[in-house]
Amino acid sequence: KQEVTQIPAALSVPEGENLVLNCSFTDSAIYNLQWFRQDPGKGLTSLLLIQSSQREQTSGRLNASLDKSSGRSTLYIAASQPGDSATYLCAVSWISGSARQLTFGSGTQLTVLP
């Protein structure tokens, strides 16, 4: 079964720290991978999308990398701020999937302490 795992489930860091969130997936034949942010009681905001042919994507203080051979992606957040506190979800679309459906990890709940 194709699965996505995110560890740790929760992370707490002091403001200003650089941090890495991890995502692993069981099948390397992916179409793309998306990182989302979800604030409490809210919907999902897409942060970064990495195509299968890409190794990384950057947006501001965020950098996402992709290593298909090892089945891993990381989301790097530089100089963290309290406003970065949210749940971060990783989702994979596999080549074998129908209509490019996404399979989600259970998320990492990030708290940035002032």
Q: 3-state DSSP call for residue 82?
A: helix
**Pairing relationship of beta strands 108-113 and 10-14 according to DSSP bridges:** parallel
Contact predicate 66/55, CB 8 Å: yes
Judged by beta carbon, residue 80 or residue 88, the one nearer other proteins is: 88
Q: Is the dihedral of CA 16, 45, 37, 51 positive or negative?
A: negative
Nearest residue to 81 (alpha-carbon basis) of 41, 113, 36, 56: 113
* Nearer Cβ to other proteins (42/61): 42
For the CB of residue 9, give the shortest distance to other proteins in the complex, in Å. Answer: 8
Nearer to other proteins by C-beta: 69 or 99?
Answer: 99
> Minimum distance between the CB of residue 38 and other proteins, rounded to whole angstroms?
9
Judged by CB, which is closer to other proteins: 9, or 78? 9
Backbone φ, ψ for residue 106 (5° rounding): -85, -5
Residues that bind other proteins (CB under 8 A): 4, 6, 9, 32, 34, 36, 41-44, 46, 49, 51, 89, 91, 98-107
Q: How far is the CB of 103 from other proteins (least distance, A)?
A: 8
